[in-house]
Amino acid sequence: MADLSHTRVLTVATDGFEQSELFEPRKALLDAGVQVTLASLKTDPIQGMQHDKKGDTITPDTTIDAVDTGGFDALVLPGGVMNPDTLRMQDRAGEIVREFARDGKTIAAICHGPWLLVEADVVKGKTVTSWPSVRTDLRNAGADVVDREVAVDGNLITSRNPDDIPAFNQAVLAALQELAVEAAE
């Protein structure tokens, strides 16, 4: 196992994020020694959801406007319906996704999170998955949509729903391990 203590992951979320899709990948990354930064529209606590009920809140580390993507190795986008729908209306959120894609960095999105990938126009020709209601948008954006717990296409990792979090986490950590091994060589 490569040392991930120098690996930096950016998570972008706002009110309405699906609680398990932010907290469980975050915990897996932190447990692996990864440095995780949460960016949002503001630095006030943001509201998580457990499906249609309010869940826990979390306080972002920074705002999306203050993010310099050059300092990060990967991007994680949790779902929840409101979260990505709000973020895709923010120019800077789309720019962040495009910058990670342009630089060939890992981008991982789960459930409704791929809406941001559509908005940023980074899925054309890519094999992806998502929550069923997002799949038509992905197809219309030129993606090859599959129905499986995790789809990995180059630097892009996507999953369908909270049940897929273990496979999602494993794919993200494997990508970061590969990056760390390449950096050590």
| Residue numbers annotated as active site | 111-112
Which tokens in the block code for residue 115?
């809406």
Whether 73 contacts 13, CB under 8 Å? no
Q: Quote the DSSP letter at residue 140.
A: H
Whether 42 contacts 16, CB under 8 Å? no
**DSSP codes of every residue in 157-168:** EEE-SGGGHHHH
Write phi, then psi, for 153 (nearest 5 degrees): -135, 100
